[in-house]
Structure 1
Amino acid sequence: MSTVSKARPATTPASKRSRSPEGAPARSRAGDIDGFRGLAALSTVVFHVWQQYFRYDANGVHPPVDNAYLGAVLSFEVIDLFFVLSAYLLTLSYARAAIDGGSTRPARVFLFRRAIRILPLYFLAVLVVWATRNPTLPGNWQDLVEHLTFTHVFDQQRIFYTLGPTWSLSLEVLFYFVLVGLGPLAVRACRQLRQRRTRVAVCAGGCLLLYVIPLVWIAVAHYVYGVPHTHWAVYFGPQARFGGFAVGMGLAVLMVALGDRGRLHRGSALPLSMAALAGLYALSLLSAPENFTFTFYHPLASALWMVLLFSTLHIHRRTRWNRLLTARWLTAVGLVSYSLFIWHEPVMLQLHKSGLLPAGQAGFPLALVIVLLAALPTAVLSYWLIEYPAGLLARLKDNSGRPRDFYPEPAIR
């Protein structure tokens, strides 16, 4: 999601920022990250409109497209990018504290701010969509309870009910609790170690272990027990998908460990970014039900997203790829990406129900335009009417968890 973390990397004082060839201070990495969010959100809309027009078959296979190369583009999944990006941003403070010392925010403050970020819009959307689809009580009450408690990801039948894409939010919320549990433990363990490289190795080893566990789960489920990929609770749950978060945590450790060292030059950064994108496309192209690439698609894709993020953020000078990511229209989409992620499916289904989308597979391009024209304004309104006001509540507490004093008493002269 999540698409959903809005944590920003710390910026350095203006006097210490690297400068572009023109002499202006280099832009913050926050613009690149917003660009990633925007691309991921738009790609998610394309993916779900495509699913609506080119339905999955009974075996859960990606909808057929005559041109395999075009099909690989349309079936390009970006949910792993949301996981990697969210984990990277939220783990940075723990990685800094564990490797270089310092403090972290109390768990209650972290969870309070995550709740303010996630819950108001999510709960509202779930209640609105569920009520429209269950006009008479009690309705499918179990579906409602599972969505409100983020447990629908464990239900084979209801995982994609109400708000289909939000199965990933269940994993996002679980990651928050894992991070506030393991993060402080890692910090305390590393404080006992004298050498910095040992602290880095401990943190990196922990991330690697968290990455390997889902690989083992997938391998055993698929090759030992023969569980088909349509068993959603097995392959969509945290036990199978946590590798994306582990990769993001590893990226945070890597970035903190390197600091300003090893920054990539244009001659290496752009080719590495393009190689990562080519690898992601190859995964999509080569995936076929139950083959190796399909079975391990998400762990492999997560690793490639990590490479792409590293080659985008850990650089000396900005590349054309960075300039694309920081285009105003794209960062604007990134700003409202969570609202777009939440509302695009209900908007699409309502347009379809009202007969406002063209019929037949040939109508897919026009349908995509119509859905975007309706979903983007909806996302903008949702951001300013729900997300932004709710976000102001996060300022009620400071980093130590104490209520902020917005009206300090005047100094006595």
Structure 2
Amino acid sequence: MPPGYSVTSMTSTDSARDSVAASNTDSVAASNTDSVAASNAAAVAASDPDARSGASSHSDAAAPAVTSRRFYPQLEGMRALAAIGVLITHVAFQTRAVEIAVLGPVLGRLDLAVALFFGLSGFLLWRPWVDAAHRGSGHPSIPRYLEHRVVRIWPAYVVVVVLVLLLLPEAQGADFDVWLANLTLTQVFVPLTLTAGLTQMWSLSVEIAFYALLPLIGLALVRLRGRRASARIPVLLVLGALSLGWAWVGTSLPVADGVETKNWVFGHLPWFVAGLILAEVAGVLDTAGAPRGRWMNLVVRLSANRWLMLAVLVAAYGLACTRLAGPTGLGDVTNIEFVTKMVLGALCGYALLAPLVCNPGPFRFLTSRVMLALGRWSYGIFIWHVAVLAVVFPLFGIVPFNGDTLLVLVITLGLSIGIAAASYAFIEEPARNWLRNRETRRRKRAPAAP
């Protein structure tokens, strides 16, 4: 499976947040961004611990008032569309639809959905650090952050890995290295460990590496807070620009045959940085009294402009469908093509997310109950759909790489959604409830603060 054909889900919602989203959708249209943040903050904090900022309790009396990190229901709907999009591109590849003139490259380049998901991850996980920076002191609890990431990702993932390696005929007989690399999400570092039914997990391996890297970035920028917080965006832009050189650095490393260094987190950092920058912009919007220079006001206006962002998306995606960004199927990718794809992917991710964060809406389709439900199940769709696709062909007597794209798509999508819903209900949500209850018990045991 070619690199880039994957997406990941960073957070999830629950039924309480669905009701918050449904009740607030119409009011969003009549309010500005700051009022939306204030109205949603209390409901989100009550319904999902992950939605809280997690910042230190210490505060600076002179610092601007910071609204608690809010929940954006429209991002759940967008994540659902991205999950379906990446499923479509996998189906298109395995039914040779990517070879159709004009339409083929468009379907094949839906692998840029991973840029959207990396951007979502950067945005959502960076917001607590941004809030702490605007408060002027402290930073989020790193142990709590890491604990939540482990509980969010591994329980359902381990179930998929075990079942695929034991039951999928093409994956049976895997050796110890394959088992260990897949269970620990280190596939991008161990050669020849991406196996049938799990080939998309390389991007989840990149995601895990970003989880480890994010606190280091946060600590490096911790002094840029309060009045100096406006310098954070230029620093992040420099970081993203420097990471574009990884294509040449990675290819010069003495790694084992079969290890693709472009698939390490440093190579895909521009896609995450797009989300980090958007989080900084949202932090300014959600902080009463935050200083805004002319350039920040311009960034906010441009980011909130739906038509402008749509134009950027169409232009960037159109260029990505050409040879400038490398092949849309299997094939060698030059360093220049890889860098071009990283830049265009970052533009696509930002253009899709920025209006959803900076514009008050409404976003009735993205915040509908159906889209919110699909957003909850999007992680399950991602981790299960390649294995489901591998089973669909023999189960329904369809020959791989021989057409029947629409039939394969309908069957794969339906089965993947059903399995993802079960995965969420019986694995993901119970795991998060366990962690929530554990934190509640821990708080009750802690001595009362003076």
Which residue matches 1:299? Answer: 343
Which residue matches 1:411? Answer: none
Which residue matches 1:374? Answer: 415
Q: Check conservation: 1:396, 1:404, Cα contact below 8 A.
A: no
Q: How do 1:35-50 and structure 2 match up within 5 A?
A: 35-50=77-92
Q: Partner of 1:88: helix, strand, or coil?
A: helix
Which residue matches 1:404? Answer: 443
Which residue matches 1:20? Answer: 29
Root mean square deviation of aligned Cα = 3.7
Q: Does 1:249 align with 2:285?
A: no
Distance 1:237 1:273 in 2: 29
Mean Cα deviation higher: 161-170 or 380-389: 161-170
CA deviation string 1:149-208 (max 9, x = no partner): 221112342235551111111111111111223323422x235xxx61x3321x224322
Which residue matches 1:218? Answer: 247
Q: How do 1:255-274 and structure 2 match up within 5 A?
A: 255-259=282-286, 262=297, 269-274=305-310
Aligned-pair distance for 1:67? 2.0
Distance 2:303 2:194 in 1: 45
Distance 2:172 2:401 in 1: 35
Which residue matches 2:53? Answer: none
Cα–Cα, structure 1 residues 34 and 135, in superposed 2: closer, same or farther, change >3 Å?
closer
Question: Which of 101, 119, 124 lines up with 2:136 in the alignment?
Answer: 101
Which residue matches 2:361? Answer: 318
What amino acid is the match of 1:308?
L
Distance 2:304 2:151 in 1: 40
Q: How many residues align?
A: 379
Aligned-pair distance for 1:368? 0.4
Which residue matches 1:60? Answer: none
Which residue matches 1:57? Answer: none
- State TM-score, norm by structure 2: 0.74
Aligned-pair distance for 1:64? 4.5
Which residue matches 2:318? Answer: 282
Distance 1:170 1:38 in 2: 20
Q: How do 1:129-144 and structure 2 match up within 5 A?
A: 129-133=164-168, 139-144=174-179
Q: Check conservation: 1:358, 1:366, Cα contact below 8 A.
A: no
Which residue matches 1:53? Answer: 95
Distance 2:235 2:302 in 1: 32
Which residue matches 2:67? Answer: none
CA deviation string 1:371-398 (max 9, x = no partner): 1121111111111011110110221354
Q: Partner of 1:244: helix, strand, or coil?
A: helix
Cα–Cα, structure 1 residues 360 and 177, in superposed 2: closer, same or farther, change >3 Å?
closer
Question: Which of 386, 392, 399 lines up with 1:345 in the alignment?
Answer: 386
Q: Partner of 1:324: helix, strand, or coil?
A: coil
Q: How do 1:217-236 and structure 2 match up within 5 A?
A: 217-219=246-248, 233-236=260-263
Q: Check conservation: 1:241, 1:299, Cα contact below 8 A.
A: no
Question: Which of 193, 212, 237 lines up with 2:264 in the alignment?
Answer: 237
Distance 1:181 1:37 in 2: 26
Q: Check conservation: 2:206, 2:265, Cα contact below 8 A.
A: yes
Cα–Cα, structure 1 residues 244 and 22, in superposed 2: closer, same or farther, change >3 Å?
closer
Q: Does 1:4 align with 2:10?
A: yes
- Return structure 1 stretches of 4+ with deviation > 6 angstroms: 134-138, 263-268
What amino acid is the match of 1:186?
L
Which residue matches 1:68? Answer: 102
Q: Does 1:34 align with 2:82?
A: no
What amino acid is the match of 1:140?
D
Q: Structure 1, unaligned stretches of length 5 or more?
A: 55-62, 409-413
Aligned-pair distance for 1:21? 3.8
Identity across the alignment (%): 25
Distance 1:162 1:146 in 2: 14
Cα–Cα, structure 1 residues 276 and 174, in superposed 2: closer, same or farther, change >3 Å?
same
Which residue matches 1:126? Answer: 161
Distance 2:219 2:249 in 1: 31
Cα–Cα, structure 1 residues 176 and 276, in superposed 2: closer, same or farther, change >3 Å?
same
Distance 1:302 1:50 in 2: 23
Q: Check conservation: 1:91, 1:249, Cα contact below 8 A.
A: yes
Which residue matches 2:181? Answer: 146
Q: Structure 2, unaligned stretches of length 5 or more?
A: 1-6, 41-70, 328-332
Distance 1:285 1:137 in 2: 36
Which residue matches 1:58? Answer: none
